[in-house]
A and B are shown apart, each in its own frame.
Chain A
Amino acid sequence: MSSTTEAVLRRQDPGGDRSDPGPDHHPVAGSRMTPGRGGLLRRRRTRLLGLLLLVGLVVVAATLSIAIGSRSIGLGTVWEALTDPGVPTEESVIVRELRVPRTVLGIMVGLALGIAGALAQGHTRNPLGDPGLLGVTAGASLGVVLAIYLLGVGTPAGYVWFAFAGALLGTVLVFTLGSAGRGGATPVTLALAGAALSALFYALVRAILVSDTDSLDAFRFWVVGALSGRGADVAWQVAPFIVVGLLLALVNAPALDLLGLGEDVARGLGQRVWLARLVGLASVTLLCGAATAACGPIAFVGLVVPHVVRAFTGPAHRWLIPCSGLLGAALLLVADVIGRVVVRPGELQVGIVLALIGAPFFIALIRRRRLAGP
Chain B
Amino acid sequence: MTLDAATTTLPASGTVRLAAESVSLAYDDRVVVRDLDLQLTDGSFTAIVGPNGCGKSTLLRALGRLLRPTEGRVLLDGRAIARTPTREVARVLGLLPQAPVAPEGLTVGDLVARGRHPHQSWLRQWSRDDEAAVAEALRWTDMADLAERPVDELSGGQRQRAWISMALAQGTDLLLLDEPTTYLDLSHQIDVLELVARLHAERGRTVVVVLHDLNLAARYAQRLVAMDDGALVASGTPEEVLTEQLLADVFDLEARIVPDPVAGTPMVVPVRRLR
Contact = CB atoms under 8 A, between A and B. Distances in A.
Nearest to A22: B52
Nearest to A20: B57
A14 B97 contact: yes
A18 interface: yes
B61 A21 contact: no
A15 B52 contact: no
B61 A15 contact: yes
Given A15-B61, A15-B66, A20 B97 contact: no
Interface string A1-42: 001000000001011011111111100000000000000000
B108 interface: no
B152 to A, nearest CB: 10
Contacts of B97: 14-15
A18 B27 contact: yes
Interface in B90-116: 97-101
Contacts of A12: 101
Contacts, number: 40
A19 B58 contact: yes
Contacts of A14: 97-101
Contacts of B73: none
A22 B61 contact: no
B68 to A, nearest CB: 13
Given A14-B97, A15-B66, A20 B54 contact: yes
B56 A20 contact: yes
Interface string A195-235: 00000000000000000000000000000000000000000
Contact of B61 (A18, A23, A24, A25): A18
B53 A21 contact: yes
Nearest to A18: B27
A14 B56 CA distance: 16
Interface residues of B, number: 21
A18 B101 contact: no
Contacts of B66: 15
A275 B16 CA distance: 62
Interface of B is mostly: loop
A18 B26 CA distance: 10
A23 B99 CA distance: 12
A2 B32 CA distance: 26
B53 A19 contact: yes
B43 interface: no
A21 B52 contact: yes
Contacts of A20: 32, 52-58
B93 to A, nearest CB: 16
Contacts of A24: 52
A20 to B, nearest CB: 4
Contacts of B100: 14
Which of A12, A15, A20, A21 has the most C-beta atoms of chain B within 10 angstroms of its own C-beta?
A: A20
Contact of A19 (B27, B51, B99, B101): B27
Nearest to B32: A19
B226 to A, nearest CB: 14
Interface in B121-148: none
Contacts of A21: 52-53
A278 to B, nearest CB: 28
Interface string A298-318: 000000000000000000000
A6 to B, nearest CB: 10
Contacts of A25: 52-53
Contacts of A17: 98
Contacts of B212: 22
Given A3-B99, A12-B101, A18 B52 contact: no
B30 to A, nearest CB: 8
Interface in B30-74: 30, 32, 51-58, 61, 66-67
A24 B53 CA distance: 11
Contacts of A23: 182
A188 to B, nearest CB: 10
A20 B53 CA distance: 5
B53 A22 contact: yes
Nearest to B58: A20
Contacts of B56: 20
Contacts of A3: 99
A3 B32 CA distance: 25
B217 to A, nearest CB: 15
Given A14-B99, A19-B53, A20-B52, 17 more contacts: A14-B101, A15-B66, A15-B98, A18-B27, A18-B61, A18-B67, A19-B27, A19-B32, A19-B58, A20-B53, A20-B57, A21-B53, A22-B51, A22-B52, A24-B52, A25-B52, A25-B53
30 contacts: A3-B99, A12-B101, A14-B97, A14-B99, A14-B101, A15-B66, A15-B97, A15-B98, A17-B98, A18-B57, A18-B58, A18-B61, A18-B67, A19-B27, A19-B32, A19-B58, A20-B32, A20-B52, A20-B53, A20-B54, A20-B55, A20-B56, A20-B57, A21-B53, A22-B51, A22-B52, A22-B53, A22-B212, A24-B52, A25-B53
Q: Which 9 A-B pairs have the closest CB atoms?
A: A22-B52, A20-B57, A12-B101, A14-B97, A14-B100, A14-B101, A20-B58, A20-B53, A15-B97
Interface of B: 27, 30, 32, 51-58, 61, 66-67, 97-101, 182, 212
